[in-house]
Amino acid sequence: MANVTAALVDDDEEVLDLIEQILKEEGLTTWRFHQAEDLLETLESTSFDIIISDLMLPGITGLELLDRLNRKRITTPFVLITGYASLDSAIESVNRGAFSYIKKPFNIEEIRFVINRLRQRQDHLEEIARLKRQVTMLQSKLPKEMSEDFQNISLPPLMPPLQAAGELSKAFAAIEYLGRLKSDGLITEHEFGEYKGKILKRIV
């Protein structure tokens, strides 16, 4: 996995120093911002692998920053820093699509847990990209009866059905869905590999 770059947004230098130290120990490259507006301007030309922002900022708040990122369709994983008194805001941020939140006072292991989740997410996305390339290479070998094969695949509950012949996007969606189930702990690593193998076997 390539080097991970994090954008840190907080107007407190001590907080920035602490988080930056932890992230650098985990091998991340960090950019520091004292207000959300500066980050938004930088995002016009630079992308990050994760954004970690305090809730209370001069200018727009951390939640407002998340809303603006959503409107701009910037899908960078977003983590909100909040105190115990503002825990409702942290939960609200997750409801709005935030990747996670970190409570003050900081627990180092909690921050490391978030970074490990991010790495797992990136590894999963890289695996999906690899599978897409593999399926694209095999596209010319697909039989016209592909839809019948797909319909016979035994998939976990709530799996999106694979119905239309030749629709490779259905296969991609199925594999991505399996990845989400695995990340949420609803299926095991073994079950993920087993179901993924069934999908790939039908299109080779």
- Calculate mean pLDDT across residues 106-112: 85
Asked if the structure places residue 130 within a domain, the reply is no
* pTM, 2 dp: 0.64
Q: Are residues 110 and 11 in the same domain?
A: yes
pLDDT at 10 over 90: yes
Q: Measured in whole angstroms, how far is the alpha carbon of residue 29 from the centre of its chain?
A: 18
Domain count within the chain: 2
Asked if the structure places residue 103 within a domain, the reply is yes
Asked if the structure places residue 133 within a domain, the reply is no
Asked if the structure places residue 73 within a domain, the reply is yes
Note down the domain range covering 25. 5-118
Asked if the structure places residue 132 within a domain, the reply is no
Note whether 80 and 55 are within 8 A (CB). Answer: yes
3-state helix, strand, coil in the chain (%, to 5): 55, 15, 30
pLDDT tens-digit series, residues 162-204: 444 444 556 666 677 677 767 766 667 777 777 777 766 655 4
The CATH code of the domain that includes 87 is 3.40.50.2300
Instruction: State whether residue 147 is helix, strand or coil.
Output: helix
- Calculate mean pLDDT across residues 48-77: 93
Long-range contacts of range 20-24, CB-CB < 8 Å, 24 or more positions apart? Answer: 22/108, 22/111, 22/112, 23/111, 23/115
Asked if the structure places residue 126 within a domain, the reply is no
Q: Are residues 40 and 114 in the same domain?
A: yes
Asked if the structure places residue 127 within a domain, the reply is no
